[in-house]
């Protein structure tokens, strides 16, 4: 953290690391000014609450699971950092603004809409699908870097059809 010269955030991603941040470690790292915050990409919201309580309100916490932005906002996170935000910015900004304005039903409807798209992405691999969908929107982001797989032409066509079915192109 000292060498970086910038605030360091712990990226809690237990699905990929087989390790989940706990309150003791988070509190130690935070109190020693090693971390300033956390990108919390796990559905274990109880653990998140325990971490936030242990560290206090100065710990900056962002939601990682795109499909759970709204529930995480109810847990007092500052916002979200997500791959699918890139191809659905209007929806995710709408979720956040609706939440801030107390328009919970609108926020829920937008989260459901985002989750339908995310469900389609999951069938093909999220990163490859996000990159392909950005291409569908006219922004060429290339292919994922290895070891993540690229989508075949057939998969891209199937993804495009799935996205049409869930109204992706209507929202963008």
Over residues 49-93, the pLDDT tens digits come to 999 999 999 999 999 999 999 999 999 999 999 999 999 999 999
To the nearest 10°, report the CA torsion of 114, 118, 120, 124.
Answer: 160
Q: Residue 9: which of 46, 54, 64 has the closest Cα?
A: 64
For 103, which DSSP code?
-
Task: Give the pLDDT band of residue 100 (cuts 50, 70, 90).
Answer: very high
Over residues 145-162, the pLDDT tens digits come to 989 999 999 999 999 999
Residue 172 has pLDDT above 90, yes or no: no
**What does the chain come to in residues?**
172
Structure tokens at 46: 């109880």
If you average pLDDT over residues 114-123, what whole number do you get? 98
Q: Residue 103: which of 111, 117, 169 has the closest Cα?
A: 111
Ramachandran assignment for 133, one of left (phi > 0), alpha (psi -120 to 50 degrees), beta (any other): alpha
Q: In sequence order, what are the beta bridge partners of 9?
A: 37
**pLDDT value of position 66:** 98
């Amino acid at each position: 953290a000292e060498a970086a010269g910038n605030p360091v955030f712990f990226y809690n991603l237990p699905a990929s690391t087989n390790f989940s941040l706990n309150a003791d470690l988070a509190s130690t790292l935070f109190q020693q000014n090693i971390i300033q915050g956390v990108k919390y990409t796990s559905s274990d919201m109880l653990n998140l609450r325990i971490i936030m309580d242990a560290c206090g309100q100065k710990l900056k916490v962002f939601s990682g699971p795109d499909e759970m932005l709204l529930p995480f906002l109810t847990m007092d996170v500052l916002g979200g950092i997500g791959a699918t935000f890139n191809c659905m910015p209007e929806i995710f900004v709408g979720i956040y603004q609706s939440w801030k304005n107390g328009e919970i039903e609108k926020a829920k409807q937008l989260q459901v809409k985002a989750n339908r798209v995310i469900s389609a992405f999951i069938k093909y691999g999220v990163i490859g699908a996000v990159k392909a969908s950005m291409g569908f929107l006219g922004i060429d982001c290339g292919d994922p870097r290895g070891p993540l797989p690229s989508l075949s032409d057939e998969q891209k066509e199937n993804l495009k059809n799935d996205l049409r079915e869930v109204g992706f192109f209507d929202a963008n």
